[in-house]
Each structure stands twice: as structure tokens, then as C-alpha cells.
Amino acid sequence: MSARNRRRTVAAGTGVLAAGLLVVAGGAAVLSPDGETGSKPRAHAAVRSGSPSPAASTAVAPPVAGNGDPDAMPEVAAYLQVKDPGGETVRHVTDVRRSGAFLRVYTDLDEGDENTDAAITLCEWAAEYLERYDGEGEPIVFVHAEESGNGHVVLANKQSADDDCRVGETR
């Protein structure tokens, strides 16, 4: 199966997963401590056997592009959520996209947050996903800041197997 056909198959399957996440997130209602009924989104996504179970997760899945977009990578967003059941790191993710051979993780982090724990962790987890499930060469990952006048600044990246996800100083 060619890479393009595989991506289409994955996109179709993940579209179903994304739709299920939306149903779960939009339809779960719980009682608040004061007895009021409220909506509390809770997403559950199966990534693959051998991965941690997301059933214990209380974090909300990050929003990702979908609707048949072949560059959208909602399965990676689901994987990131499984890696971070408390949601402290994954809450920063706004989108995950394939850009050629690169995986791009867009966040709400600021331009000055390069090499922060959150940026490095997201880079490492995304690279881990690619190593485990993508199998198309070395994982190349870019973690981007929220868009600013400088565009989507790179906060962390992995460009080879030896790379540690840290970006060098820019001058």
C-alpha cells in the first residue's frame, strides 16, 4: 500500500475516531459539587494495544483539524492525550498536522517558550508516536508556538534520531 493510500485509510479511520470523541466530549454530563448539572467533556480514544489505557483520563482531547483533511493527524492528538492523562501538557496542543515528512504540533504556548518542559515533552511524545506507529524513516517533529507576528515560531524540534528536541539559540 502506498504512503498516500495508507494516509487516506488512516484519515478515514481517524475521522470516525474524531467523530466519536466529539460525541463523547459533547454528551457527557455530570453533577457538580453544588448539585447543578453541567457538561464536562471527557474524551476516550484507543490508540493501539500496548499503549496506556485512556479510560482513566479526565483531560479533554485537544482540538485538531479533521473532516477528511489528509494532513490532519487526530490519531497523534489522541496518543498525546493518552500519554498525559492529567492534561497538564497536552492542554497546550491546538492542532497536529502532517507536512510532508514532518509532523507539526501547534500549541497555544508563547514565542518565548522555546525549550520549555511542555514543548520538549510534546516533541518527545510526537517522535515516540512516529517511531512506534509511522515507520516511515526517522521521526521529524516540530512543536510550534501560537501564531504571532513572527508566524508559528518553533519551540522544540527533532530532526534526527540523535536530536534531543531542543532548539538551538537563534540570533
Tell me what pLDDT residue 170 has: 60
Tell me what pLDDT residue 67 has: 57
Three-state SS for 104?
A: strand
What type of residue is 12? A
Global pTM? 0.63
Biggest distance spanned by C-alpha atoms of the chain: 55
Tell me what pLDDT residue 64 has: 45
Name every residue whose Cβ is closer than 8 Å to that of residue 15 and which is 6 or more positions away in sequence.
66, 67, 68, 74
Tell me what pLDDT residue 138 has: 86
Tell me what pLDDT residue 59 has: 39
Identify the CA nearest to 80 among candidates 64, 100, 101, 68. Answer: 64
Tell me what pLDDT residue 126 has: 96
Residue 161 DSSP one-character state: T
Give every residue of the chain whose pLDDT is below 50, as ranges: 1-65
